Amino acid sequence: RLEADDLEDDTDGAWWRYVYVENTFVNLDLLRQGVVYFQNRYPNIRHSEALLQAEQEARQRRRGLWKNESR
């Protein structure tokens, strides 16, 4: 299921969606795995806090993209 936030698309025409597969919030899961970067587009901020926290957790645990990041 795709879920929009306040705006359907941004000024470039890109669609920003929250993706759910059954009970999994895919956006959050990908950030926790460290395979994507967090990007925020105001006013689409419904899940921003949780998504940013998931990226920070991946960085701290050196997952995915953050594997070789120096501390």
pLDDT digits (tens, 9 = 90+) for 47-65: 999 999 999 999 999 999 9
Q: What is the DSSP letter of 17?
A: E
Burial label for 34, CB within 10 Å (0-12, 13-18, 19+), is: buried
Q: What percent of the chain has pLDDT over 90?
A: 66
Q: What's the predicted TM-score (pTM) here?
A: 0.86
d(CA 11, CA 36): 22
| pLDDT score of 7 more than 90 | no
- Residues 8-24: tens digit of each pLDDT: 877 788 888 999 999 99
How far apart are alpha carbons 37 and 9 in whole angstroms?
19
